[in-house]
C-alpha cells in the first residue's frame, strides 16, 4: 500500500502526537522499514514543526523536507535519507549514525553535538548555521561540501 506524501505526513503526525515514536516515552513502536519519503514538514504561522525526542531508526525519509523544525535529540540511526533537506532546523544532539544522507542538504541549521558516525554524506551540502562538536567519525564525505 502506497500513501501520498500528505497522508504519510498525517500518519507521522498521529504517531508522534500519540507518543509512539518518541524515545522519551514508553511504549514506543518499532517502525523500522516504514516509508515516510517525500514528506514536507514545514514550520508556518499555523503549523508547528517541533519534534524533540523523535525516534525513527531504520526508516525511509528520502527527499523529505524539514524546514524550521525542532529535532533536538532526534534519532535517525540506520535510516535512508537520500536527497533530504534540513533548512533552518535545530538538530542539537541528533543521531544520524550509519544513516544514508547522500545528496542531502543542511542549510542554516543548528548542528551542535550531532552524531554522524559511519553516515554517508556523499555529495551532500552543509552550509551556514552552527556546526559545532559534530562527530563525523568514519563518515563518508566524498564530494561533500561543508562551509
Digit-by-digit pLDDT tens for the chain (147 residues) are 589 999 999 999 999 999 999 999 887 899 999 999 999 999 998 989 999 999 999 999 999 999 999 999 999 999 999 999 999 999 999 999 999 999 999 999 999 999 999 999 999 999 999 999 999 999 999 999 998
pLDDT of residue 1: 54
Q: Count Cβ neighbours within 10 Å for each residue of 88-102 and write b for 16 or more, e otherwise.
A: bbbbbbbbbbbbbbb
User: Positive or negative, the Cα torsion across 79, 82, 88, 93?
Assistant: positive
pTM: 0.95
Domains (range + CATH), the chain: 1-147 (2.160.20)
Find all residues with CB under 8 Å of 44, minimum gap 6, and list them: none
Cell 556546526 belongs to residue: 131
Amino acid at each position: 500500500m502506497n500513501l501520498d506524501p500528505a497522508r504519510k505526513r498525517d500518519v507521522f503526525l498521529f504517531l508522534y502526537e500519540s507518543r509512539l515514536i518518541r524515545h522519551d516515552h514508553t511504549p514506543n513502536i518499532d517502525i523500522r522499514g516504514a516509508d515516510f519519503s517525500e514528506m514536507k514538514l514545514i514550520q508556518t504561522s499555523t503549523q508547528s514543526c517541533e519534534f524533540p525526542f523523535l525516534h525513527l531508526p531504520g526508516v525511509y525519509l528520502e527527499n523529505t523536507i524539514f524546514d524550521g523544525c525542532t529535532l533536538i535529540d532526534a534519532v535517525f540511526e540506520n535510516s535512508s535519507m537520500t536527497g533530504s533537506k534540513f533548512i533552518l532546523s535545530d538538530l542539537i544532539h541528533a543521531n544520524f549514525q550509519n544513516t544514508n544522507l547522500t545528496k542531502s542538504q543542511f542549510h542554516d541549521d543548528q548542528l551542535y553535538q550531532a552524531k554522524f558516525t559511519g553516515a554517508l554524506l556523499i555529495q551532500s551540502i552543509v552550509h551556514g548555521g552552527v556546526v559545532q562538536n559534530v562527530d563525523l567519525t568514519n563518515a563518508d564525505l566524498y564530494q561533500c561540501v561543508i562551509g
